[in-house]
Structure 1
Amino acid sequence: MHPHDLMKYAQWPFRILAEVALVGLVVITAVDVIGRVVFASPLGFAYELVGLLLGVSVYAGLIGMNWTRDHIRIDLIEGFLRRFPRFDRIRAGGVWLLEVVFFTIVALYVARQAVQMQRWHETFLFLPLEKWLPLAVYAGFAALAALSTALAVIPKLQARKEDLK
């Protein structure tokens, strides 16, 4: 099996998880709003579950997004930088390094928060779940996103054009 295919298949479950979380967000929000407006009886756990699913969709989605380098671009100075094409590789390397550092810091920070929350054994108001558990999952996803960013520059692992469609 080609290393690229291995990376592609390793990320498939996270893409599905992010998609399911997004659908869950829509369904739970719709049921909560309909229950609140029509029946005057909202879902008590909707706020907490929407927050958990939002975290899952963001952090699980980061893994594939970072690997394909398919992030949002802010092109305020791109026109200016085009005048210096010889610096493109340096600029790309600097941006890549910043991304790796950023996502590593995010992973470490979220893991630290999970450890701190575990000490208190605090649970959600409606969901019978300690708050540190989802944070630990998010920290794992963020670590995988940082790893995915780091691996994105290895030529044999880089996303192919058919994957970006």
Structure 2
Amino acid sequence: MYPIHTTIQKLLAEERFQEAMTLIAELGEKRDQSSVEFLTGMLTETQNTLVRNEVAIALKDIGDNRAVCPLIEALSNADMNRSRGTLLYALEELYYEPYIEIIVAFIGDANLEVRMQSFLLFENAADKLSEQQKQICKETLLKCKSERTNEILDEALALLNN
């Protein structure tokens, strides 16, 4: 383990969250790809929402596709619902299209940030999707619309009809 990883773990154990988040942000700023596994492990290990969000942003900054699966898993974890907007944001520059069926369901979320972030991801991927993915997304969006309607669901459905 790298010394900075050990330092971050020590700071977290001592509940010195702000200092740990500063170091986590530095890993992202440096685009330290050697830290991807360490950071993805932290997504589920930490109970601190602010730390989890900082980890997600660092993973976005690093831009390594190894982060996609752990971000999707975290996104799907009900215990992490307070981080979903940031987790979705972290996927922006990554290759998330194979998981679009999971992402599109969040367009029906009660949280505006989550709805908007998932719509942006969907909008960016819509023209790259296979017919099968489009059909699954349409079914998911219609199911969401039957449970809770919002304008963003209509916009997403319109994207599929173009």
TM range (shorter): under 0.3
- TM-score normalised by structure 1 residue count: 0.23
User: Which protein shows a greater Rg?
Assistant: 1
Higher relative contact order (CA 8 A, sep 6+): 1
